[in-house]
Structure 1
Amino acid sequence: MFVENLSAFLTHPVTATVLLVVGIIGIALELLFFSSGLLALAGVAGFGLYFLGFYLAGFAGFGDLAVFGIGLILLILELVVPSFGILSVLGAICLFGGVLMASSNPKEAALMLGIALLIAIVVIVYAIKTFKHRGVWNRFILKEQLTTDKGFTSSPDLMYLTGLTGEAVTPLRPAGTAIIQGERIDVVTNGSFISAGRQVVVVEVEGARVVVKEKDSKLS
């Protein structure tokens, strides 16, 4: 008697729909937010009770459960081996196919599944908007801003060299190397030739480009 009452309760359209909602939401949110398995456990429990009800009623078999299990495996594989959605689609087909196959009335099961999906979509969309900063997609987004105030620069900041004097250690034709305050700096002239050993002064810095002229000469 207990088994019959339990089966009747679990297979009731309202109960079965609620179990499907819990199952879909639990697994979907686990895949989206990685809740250490808690949501997945709730989802599996929801689907498990759904299948248990129809199994006790004599409608669901191990084949239906196997199809459902394959669907879960495919959904998990989509996270590990991205397939541009192919595994997700196949997984969803198997998952929902198992749900329909386990029911005594596929049309009624399809209606319950449709209602459960609509409710689940609303809840999932709300969860994504509320907890968007915790979603799995954040693992693929670079959120750190590479700004100067955080110590990041696209190139060395050489503006401090402006106006300083140094010595050309290679001929500047017009590019070459100069020693400025004991540091070897790649420099360039505005087209003029400066031989090695001559004194130079930095007249302009543009990013990593350091422009020099010979000391005491006019900039052309």
Structure 2
Amino acid sequence: MDTWIWPVLLLLAGLFFAALELFFVSYGVLTFLAVASASASIVLGFWYSQSLGMSLLLVTVLGIPAFLTLFIRVWPRIGVGKKIMLQERDAAETLPDNPILHRLKELVGRIGEVKSPMLPAGVVQINGRSYDALSEGTAIDVGRKVKVVSVQGTWLVVQAVDEIASAGEEGDLWTRPLPGSDIDPFRQG
């Protein structure tokens, strides 16, 4: 048998051990054997001739990134990879389809009446039914009218109707000028 065959066989053995690592959990034993075989292949190749050693080194240097790319793309789809790696789920599979949440979302925009003091949580009555609610920002007294603004979990988020009307008439409450602040600091004279 010619001496150049041993380095090539060792390189093929290293690739074989690396491929086995994809399918079997060896806790690094097969990876160690793959690296040792590839290293021994390169050393023996250089002992035989410099051109064989360089070609084996080039195959190893280019083959490792190609193998890693293949490993990253193929491994999650095979048996061991499916057991170890988490599979991506669709949002429809993970979110519950709860009819109660659908009914609560239908209440957005409706007007109701506060039945217990909202500090900021309380009870709101809409169309004769009571719902747990959170006030958006301030405390709301019993008997005041509120509008459902959004839904957070199973809670309705409400805002007092008069706050909505005053904000709509005079602009945003935060950007409205303070009363009596008509003094212009840049006015001369």
TM-score (norm 2): 0.50
C-alpha separation in 1, matches of 2:12 and 2:60: 8
Q: Does 2:131 align with 1:184?
A: yes
| Structure showing greater Rg | 2
Match of 2:150 among 205, 209, 212: 205
Match of 1:119 among 49, 59, 63: 59
Question: Corresponding residue for 1:76?
Answer: 26
Deviation at 1:23, TM superposition (A): 0.9
Question: Corresponding residue for 1:133?
Answer: 73
C-alpha separation in 1, matches of 2:124 and 2:19: 61
Output the amino acid matched with 2:27. L
**Distance change in 2, residues 1:184/1:126 (3 Å):** same
User: Structure 1 residues 131-140 or 182-191, which shifts more?
Assistant: 131-140
Q: Which runs of 5+ in 2 are unaligned?
A: 167-189
C-alpha separation in 1, matches of 2:93 and 2:38: 53
Question: Corresponding residue for 1:16?
Answer: 6
Deviation at 1:187, TM superposition (A): 1.8
**C-alpha contact (below 8 Å) 1:21/1:119 kept by paired residues:** no
C-alpha separation in 1, matches of 2:28 and 2:117: 60
**C-alpha contact (below 8 Å) 2:112/2:126 kept by paired residues:** yes
Q: For residues 38-57 of structure 1, what are the structure 2 equivalents within 5 Å?
A: none
Deviations 1:3-43 (A, max 9, x none): xxxxxx2xx33311221121111121332x32xx6xxxxxx
Deviation at 1:179, TM superposition (A): 4.8
SS at match of 2:149: strand
Aligned length: 149
Structure of greater relative contact order (alpha carbons < 8 Å, 6+ residues apart): 1
Deviation at 1:119, TM superposition (A): 1.8
SS at match of 1:76: coil
Question: Corresponding residue for 1:56?
Answer: none
Q: Does 2:141 align with 1:194?
A: yes
Q: Does 2:107 align with 1:161?
A: yes
Q: Does 2:117 align with 1:171?
A: yes
C-alpha separation in 1, matches of 2:71 and 2:34: 28
RMSD of Structure 2 on Structure 1 (CA) = 4.6
Question: Corresponding residue for 2:175?
Answer: none
Output the amino acid matched with 2:62. V
C-alpha separation in 1, matches of 2:18 and 2:90: 31
C-alpha separation in 2, matches of 1:141 and 1:194: 50
**Distance change in 2, residues 1:152/1:13 (3 Å):** farther
Output the amino acid matched with 1:186. A
- Percent of aligned pairs sharing the same letter: 16
Match of 2:19 among 20, 24, 29: 29
Deviation at 1:190, TM superposition (A): 4.2
C-alpha separation in 2, matches of 1:175 and 1:116: 73
**C-alpha contact (below 8 Å) 1:178/1:186 kept by paired residues:** yes
